Amino acid sequence: MAGFNTAAPAIDYDAFIFDLDGTLLDTADDLGAALNNVLIDHNFPAVDSHIYRPAASNGAMALLEAGFGQHWHNQTKQMDLRQQLLDSYADNIATHSQCFTGIAQLLIALEQQQIKWGIMTNKPEFLTTPLVAAITELNDAQAIVCGDTLNVAKPSPLPLLHTAQLLDVDPSRCLYIGDAERDIIAAKAANMHSATALWGYIPSEEEALGWQADFNWQSPIDAFNHI
């Protein structure tokens, strides 16, 4: 059943940490535009959002595989295609991207309650920094850790532990919110509570509920029960 799980212990969190794509921001249309630029350049048809949106949280290679479909494994220059996609995306990184409905209100509420908040994403720094800078609502993030800040990324817990250290908060007093299974795995390994962002780029609600996060939220507004 969707909604937050009441079985998790109720605590007053000192910090909320968020994944970026599919959790704070709806970036799928900018990622999809970059994918379609690559596809068209290589004489493949552009794809609709129902193709690229489920892959939007999983990186450039997942997007390319979704776009090329059965032809992806025949591509001999996959890394070149990846770089082309990243270059196209970087040139138009915040054309359509915006916060999901309710995120702005949630961040304001956290600040009003003096609860720290930060971002931990697997997105590389050269893309994260300009994207966050372009979204006014995210400019007050108190810590930002990217996929290449350390030499490991999620599902390793180390980037989350590093984020907690930057926020000067004990990991057990942090709540991590994300829309991918690796987010929940990383949070559990870091001794943090976790919430699945069911509004994000999840494969299906049934599969997402199977990740066994502490909470499963249909909307950012569900987080208001925990601040």
Phi, psi for 65 (deg, rounded to 5):
-65, -40
Is residue 222 annotated as a catalytic residue, yes or no? no
User: Which class for 168: exposed (0-12), middle (13-18), buried (19 or more C-beta within 10 A)?
Assistant: exposed
> In 10 A of CB 41, how many CB atoms?
11
SS3 140: coil
Classified as helix, coil or strand, 215 is strand
Q: Is 106 helix (H, G, I), strand (E, B) or coil?
A: helix
Contact 125, 153 (CB under 8 A): no
Q: Which two tokens stand for residue 57?
A: 């949280």
- The closest alpha carbon to 130, from 144, 110, 116, belongs to 144
d(CA 107, CA 100): 12
Q: From the candidates 12, 19, 87, 179, give the one annotated as an active-site residue.
A: 19
**What DSSP state is assigned to residue 201?**
S
Using the structure block, give the residue that is written with the tokens 């919110």: 177
Give me the helices (H) in 42-77, please.
49-52, 60-68
**Catalytic positions, written as ranges:** 19
